[in-house]
Amino acid sequence: MLLNRRSFLSSSVGATTALAIGSLKDDWVRHVHAAHQQAGGRSPEELSADESFWFQIQQAFDLDRSLINLNNGGVSPSPRIVLDAMIRQLSFTNHAPSRHLWQVQDPRVELVRERLARTFGCSSEELAITRNASESLQIAINGIDLKPGDEFLTTSHDYPRMVNTLKQRMAREGIVLKQLRMPVPVESHDQLVRLFEESVTPRTRVILVCHIVNITGEIFPVKRICEMARRRGILTIVDGAHAFAHFAYTYDDIGCDFYGTSLHKWLTAPIGTGFLFVRKERIADLWPLTAADDPKSDNIRKFEEIGTHPTAPRLAIAEALTFHHGIGPERKEARLRRLRNYWAERLRRHDRVRIHTNLSSNHSCAIATVQIKGVDSEDLAVHLWNRHKIIVAAIAHEDFEGIRVTPNVYTTKRELDLFCDAMEQVVSEGLPSPSP
């Protein structure tokens, strides 16, 4: 008997069937259903502390627990159901690629587009499925018509690839790039909005702002910045690479003209998936990065004209969305913030430890950056991997340095204990001398 997953999770029949197939290790539905049974009517904050609930979620991932992955902000493992879906679709493609890829699978991407749009809170005719946030944002950055002397305003904490894209336009076309110097850590949202307001000039045409900064985890007040820009006739591009499926929000909480994100981070979709949102009235004027038949069309699909590429990862996004909604966005956000606080609150007690992230709930979620004073952060990241098999990202910025720590829903508190033990050993003893 084949069961619809949605009805499986919500019906008593699903509960009975879950018990019958409990011996199947690969059955992610059983684990998510068991978690739902435990959740009851508890709030996301209450549930975030229930380790038995999150144990069930953790079992949906096929992981190597002989290492500790605390760099999910770079790219995250997918749950088994997502990986299996992609492999299944790749296998189907391979049976008859020219027919299955273009005539069978590509048309089914439209349902994925609709589901992503509903989750983000926009029309499906405003959402292009891309390969990552960089591709999405480069479409927006390069596709806006600008003249020599027009100003592009962004910050000193923007992602280097986006800054390099702007520098290329500056070199080729003579636009002006202005980067605001960001405080570390940020004290208040008012402070950020004021910085942008004070930096706008009559020549400012576009503002690029991170929804959440990849190097510190600071969540920007993007709606206030976008509203300020719109009042002045300035276009807004929001870099949401680390935001989608990380904490709960929809497009109404942003209000930008263009939005780009990756789906292989916090949505745990297949590697090489993302989306670009373009406000409907802006589509026709935005040039595609790869030429389309009609580059001035108002069809959002013109931004997907990249030549032959696998459809399987895009189709598997649907399973990632199902898994995400199965947990619940608010529950997931609360758990991620609790995991972040678990290690950060322990380490910040040490005098030599500095947290470069504002830990207030309206300023950050899973991402935080930590530094041990007197210890080179790149050497620290290497040590954590070589000695303890812990993966983190070293951050070397002109304003600060540290290691970025990003757990995900599959991360256990015991793994964070091991991380904290390793860090505290460095605090007290320093890094070991390199072997001769």
- Measured between its terminal Cα atoms, the distance across the chain in Å is 63
User: Over 70: is that where the pLDDT of 149 sits?
Assistant: yes
Q: Looking at residues 254-277, what average pLDDT do you find?
A: 98
User: Over 90: is that where the pLDDT of 285 sits?
Assistant: yes
215-233 pLDDT, tens per residue? 999 999 999 999 999 999 9
160 residue type, one letter: P
What is the predicted pLDDT for the residue at 435? 60
Q: Indicate the burial class of 429 (C-beta count within 10 angstroms; 0-12, 13-18, 19 or more).
A: exposed
| CB 392, CB 370: distance < 8 Å | no
DSSP element (H, E) containing 95: helix 80-95
What is the predicted pLDDT for the residue at 7? 39
Q: Indicate the burial class of 108 (C-beta count within 10 angstroms; 0-12, 13-18, 19 or more).
A: middle
What is the predicted pLDDT for the residue at 295? 96
What is the predicted pLDDT for the residue at 280? 98
User: Over 60: is that where the pLDDT of 5 sits?
Assistant: no
- Residue 136 CA to residue 139 CA, distance in Å, equals 5
Cis before 148? omega within 30? no
Q: Tell me which residue of 258, 260, 264 sits closest to 280, measured CA to CA.
A: 258
Confidence class of residue 15 from pLDDT cuts 50, 70 and 90?
Answer: very low
User: Over 50: is that where the pLDDT of 20 sits?
Assistant: no
Backbone angles phi, psi at 258, to 5 degrees: -140, 145
Confidence class of residue 433 from pLDDT cuts 50, 70 and 90?
Answer: confident
What is the predicted pLDDT for the residue at 49? 95
Q: Looking at residues 23-36, what average pLDDT do you find?
A: 59
Average pLDDT, the chain: 92
User: Over 60: is that where the pLDDT of 26 sits?
Assistant: no
Confidence class of residue 41 from pLDDT cuts 50, 70 and 90?
Answer: confident
Confidence class of residue 30 from pLDDT cuts 50, 70 and 90?
Answer: low
* Three-state DSSP state, 74: coil
Confidence class of residue 13 from pLDDT cuts 50, 70 and 90?
Answer: very low
Confidence class of residue 18 from pLDDT cuts 50, 70 and 90?
Answer: very low
User: Going by C-beta distance under 8 Å and a sequence separation of 6 or more, which residues neighbour residue 56?
Assistant: 31, 32, 34, 35, 38
- Residue 362 CA to residue 364 CA, distance in Å, equals 6
User: Over 80: is that where the pLDDT of 33 sits?
Assistant: no
Structural domains of the chain, ranges and CATH numbers in brackets: 86-320 (3.40.640.10), 331-426 (3.90.1150.10)
Q: Looking at residues 338-350, what average pLDDT do you find?
A: 98
Q: Looking at residues 93-112, what average pLDDT do you find?
A: 96
Token duo for residue 315: 């189709």
Q: What percent of the chain stands above pLDDT 90? A: 89
Q: Looking at residues 150-164, what average pLDDT do you find?
A: 96
Mean pLDDT lowest among 4-18, 76-90, 415-429: 4-18
User: Over 50: is that where the pLDDT of 25 sits?
Assistant: no
User: Over 70: is that where the pLDDT of 426 sits?
Assistant: yes
What is the predicted pLDDT for the residue at 28? 61
The distance from CA 296 to its chain's CA centroid, rounded to whole angstroms, is 30
User: Over 90: is that where the pLDDT of 36 sits?
Assistant: no
Integer CA distances (angstroms), 210 to 154, 163, 201, 277, 368, in order: 9, 12, 20, 15, 15
Token duo for residue 333: 């956000």
- Residue 163 CA to residue 155 CA, distance in Å, equals 9
Q: What percent of the chain stands above pLDDT 70? A: 91
Q: Spell out where 169-215 has E strands.
A: 176-180, 204-210
| CB 236, CB 230: distance < 8 Å | yes
